[in-house]
Amino acid sequence: MTITQPKPGFYCTVKNKTDKAAELYFYGDIVSSKADKWSSDDKCPTDVVEALEACKDAEQLDIYINSGGGSVFAGNAIFNRLKAHKAHKTVHIDGVAASIASVIALAGDEIIMPENTYMMIHKAWTFAIGNSDELRSTADRLDKLEESIVEVYDKSTGDEFTADKIRELMAAETWLSATEATEMFTNVSMTDDIQAAACISDMKYKNAPDNLIVDYDKVFSVDTADKNDEPDGSHEPDDKNGNEVKNRLDLIENFIFTERENENEQKNA
């Protein structure tokens, strides 16, 4: 049996570094720390701090994004670190910049989107458990986080996109095509399409475009030529590796921040 698995993405590191320029890649989920990574492609604020330290003298940063998002707190920290870097920052959306990854993208001075790529904005959400007071407190924290995200979007939009309009689009889980993103954000430009890798897996997002969903029947395909090795059908194909990768992807917590993060924020406040 032959199992076809996705090719590994780029690490969060500096590539093609020169004295004047560097490239950074965000090709995984946004997580809080190195310990929270499901994959070496996932990114945390510490990764970004280390990468930026390696190119602290760069005058040009090219930032490549293909991410479904992740932790709000981690994404905000990454946004702030990128924003503070002195270099001119050009963001290239290679596939999708969704949820908090769309906030990270807006750290760029200019954002380039091929016409077949997307940005997605939505309301932050979490898991919660407890009594009525604790649940109300969680909802209040979500509202505050939402306002911090609205503020980032609002600073990059034209006059026709008010804060209330942005909240409306977030509540609807809005997937912006490259054309729509150029209409909403003042620093986005569109180029010809590229063959971008899908990165949304099969997470349950309401409005995710079909062309961004991974088809596991294709991704974890069995080579039919190998069936000749088992003519009597007495042995089941060993698909352990494929299931292991699929289960890992199924557990990736895109678009959420955890209660543990909330608790850590309160402790550090």
Q: How is the chain split into domains, by residue range?
A: 14-262
Of 222 and 214, the one with more pLDDT:
214
Nearest to 68 by CA among 159, 240, 203, 170: 203
Residue 103 has pLDDT above 60, yes or no: yes
User: What 3-state DSSP class applies to 23?
Assistant: strand
Residue 201 has pLDDT above 90, yes or no: no
**pLDDT, tens digit, for every residue of 141-192?**
999 999 999 999 999 998 899 999 999 999 999 999 999 999 999 999 999 8
CA distances from 242 to 9, 16, 160, 170 (A): 18, 33, 48, 35
Question: From 3.10.150.10, 3.40.50.300, 3.30.70.260, 3.90.226.10, which CATH number describes the 14-262 domain?
Answer: 3.90.226.10
Mean pLDDT of 36-53: 90
Q: What is the CA radius of gyration of the chain?
A: 20
Residue 110 has pLDDT above 70, yes or no: yes
Residue 53 has pLDDT above 60, yes or no: yes
Percent of the chain with pLDDT over 70: 65
Say what the pLDDT of residue 20 is. 87
Residue 37 has pLDDT above 80, yes or no: yes
DSSP string for 37-70 = -SSTT-B-HHHHHHHHHHTTT-SEEEEEEEE--B
Most confident by average pLDDT, 32-46, 47-61, 104-118, 186-200: 104-118
| C-alpha span between 33 and 46 (Å, rounded) | 7
